Structures are given as C-alpha cells and as structure tokens.
A and B are shown apart, each in its own frame.
Chain A
Amino acid sequence: MNKELYEYVLRMGDDSLILGQRLGEWCGHGPILEEDIALTNIALDVLGQARILMDYAGKLTNKKEDEVAFLREERDYKNVLLVEQPNGDFAQTILRQFFFDAFRLPFFKELQNSKDETLSGLALKAVKETTYHLQHSSNWVIRLGDGTDESHQRLETALEDLWMFTGEFFYADEVDTKLVNEGIAVDVNKIKPIWDAKVSEVFAQAKLQIPENDWMQKGGRQGRHTEHLGFILSEMQYMQRAYPGCEW
C-alpha cells in the first residue's frame, strides 16, 4: 500500500466529510428557506467529494467506503481544525465557509493536473462546485461585513474565533513533499499567496481588517483535534456503530 497516498486522500476526504456533516446540521434551521437550501446544497457537494475520496482510501486499504468514513477513531481523522468548529451563528458558518472555499478553489484547480487519475477527475468536478461555493460565501461575507452594525459585529466576532485556524491549510510535511515530487499532490506553498489575495480582496469590500495576530493553531493533520470533533463523530458514526454494515 502507498502509505503517503492513503494519508493524503484521508486529509482531503476528512476536510470534506466533516464540513459536510457540519453544514448538514443547518438543514431545517437556516435563517431563511432559500439559505437553508443553499447551505445543504453545499453540504451535499462536499459530501459527494468525500464519498469519492473515502471510496478511494478504501480501495487503497481493502476496506469499504463506509468503514473508512464511519469506523475510524477520532485520532485517525486528519481534517483541518477549521471545519470541525461549531456552526455558531450564520456569520460564523459563512466565514468558516469563505476561508475554506478560498483555499479549496485554487487547491482543486492545481489538483486537476495531478498524475493520479482519481484525484484529477475529482478535481475537475469539484472546481465547478467550489467556484459557486466561493461566490456564495464571498457575497455573504461582504453583505454581513458591510451591512448593519449587528451583522458587522457578528462577523468580527467570528473572525476573532476562526482566524487562528486558517494557517493549517498550508501545513505540509513529508507526505506532501513525497507526493508533490511524484506529481500527485498540490504544493500548498503555491496556494498561500492566492488565498491571501482573495481574503484581502473580500475583506476590503466587507470593511474587515486582517488580524495582526499571526499565531496559528494546528494539529488536525496529525489527528490532534479540538474538543468538538468527538461530538461530531458520536453523532455521525451512530448508525454504523449500532448497526454494523447497515445500508439503505
């Protein structure tokens, strides 16, 4: 088995899976019907990406998609800490989404050139989906930031809570180095300036300042999570744990 590839696929797949689970929590609770559907549409898009990646991780280890997605322990999940942060209010959800989309779009654009056909195929589909996600989340960041005093204040609060989780997108270790050299993985160092530029552009319109604090939290890629992931997993894994192998 290609250990590095498995690890890489999990990191990407868990980002999608956990964010999809979080966004799914909005189902029936959106601030307006239209936004309720928009958020769950996005949830389904990222869940679709997660399924392709879980299936692929399964093939690399002789397991089924559901086993990979639902039967790992907390320490074996490799998503960035940002995606497991609570939905909070709408501003919190939107800002989390914006940071993620602004990373994912240039990331998937690069991944289209991957020598791994499963990954380049996924990227081709995901670029279209993510282009829309980013448009949606950017528009809302601008509306909230340049909206009322209350909407601006809520976005500021979200920014204080979430900023320290944005450095992890650009974490790279020997897994990345090896796969980048093989032409399979994306070099995240190339993505950083694109992300910075997008955030600056949208923040300027949203009347937000980029925080001076540059201390960044990390650990997700090694399986060290915030206290929130355990709660997500206990809900997400309930069916497979209670009824092993269940399908419908």
Chain B
Amino acid sequence: MSEIKKEWPLWEVFIRSKQGLSHKHVGSLRAADAKMAIENARDVYTRRSEGISIWVTESVNVHASNPTEQGPMFEPSDDKVYRHPTFYEVPEGVGHM
C-alpha cells in the first residue's frame, strides 16, 4: 500500500533580475505542482521587484557534485594559473574587460 505523502515536494527557484542577465538561484520552497511553485515564488521572492522571469524545478531533479570529492574535483586547477588570462598586456584605451 502506498503511503500518502503529507509534505509537498521541494522546488528550487531561479530568478532573472533583468533582460540580458541569466537566471540566478535564489532559494527554495514547497508547492504541490509547477504552477503553484511559480505563484509561490512570485509571492515569496519577487515582492521587492527582484525579477522579470521565474524558473522553478523540483529539487530532486538537481544533481550535485559530492562534497567529499572536493579535492580531486577542484584542487587540480588551483596550481594552473596559466589558465587565467592574466599574462597579457592590455593596451591602453581598452578600458575594463
């Protein structure tokens, strides 16, 4: 017999603050379905004009890297400074890059 779930699923919320910027993760919330998740996100996360577009996805669909593998995953790039474009002379007049 399947158990009736009392908790609504968890959703992750992404908001685009203005045209040209990408959606950014702002937090999570609970909702029964996607429609309700978008409405709830509107009420919880855009009350102070934070956004012009909302994405939601169920949290179970987010797959994450394993925190215990931080060493092998990320440290090898720490000593490869040549991967940063910091060895070029920037001509005057180019301004901010």
Contact = CB atoms under 8 A, between A and B. Distances in A.
Interface stretch (A32-40, A116-124, A233-241): A32-40
A120 B87 CA distance: 62
Contacts of B83: none
B34 to A, nearest CB: 12
A32 B36 contact: no
Interface string B58-89: 00000000000000000000000000000000
Interface in A14-47: 32-35, 37-38, 41
B44 interface: yes
A166 interface: no
Interface in A95-144: 132, 135-136, 139, 143
Given A34-B30, A34-B40, A41 B47 contact: yes
B29 A34 contact: yes
Given A37-B44, A41-B47, A143 B39 contact: no
A143 B35 CA distance: 12
A7 to B, nearest CB: 34
B31 A34 contact: yes
Contacts of B52: none
Contact of A139 (B29, B30, B39, B42): B39
B36 A37 contact: no
Contacts of A132: 42
Contacts of A38: 39-40, 43
Given A32-B30, A34-B30, A37-B47, A139 B35 contact: yes
A33 B29 CA distance: 9
A34 B56 CA distance: 14
Nearest to B41: A34
Which of A33, A34, A37, A139 has most B Cβ within 10 Å? Answer: A34
A32 B30 CA distance: 9
A34 B43 contact: yes
Nearest to A34: B40
A137 to B, nearest CB: 11
B26 interface: no
B47 A136 contact: no
A41 B35 CA distance: 18
A135 B40 CA distance: 12
Nearest to B32: A143
B44 A34 contact: yes
B36 A139 contact: yes
B12 to A, nearest CB: 14
Interface in A137-159: 139, 143
Contacts of B44: 33-34, 37
Nearest to A44: B47
Interface of A: 32-35, 37-38, 41, 132, 135-136, 139, 143
Interface of B: 8, 29-32, 35-36, 39-40, 42-44, 47
Given A33-B29, A34-B30, A34-B43, 6 more contacts: A34-B31, A34-B44, A35-B40, A38-B39, A135-B39, A139-B35
Lowest 5 A-B CB distances belong to which pairs? Answer: A34-B40, A38-B43, A37-B43, A37-B44, A34-B29
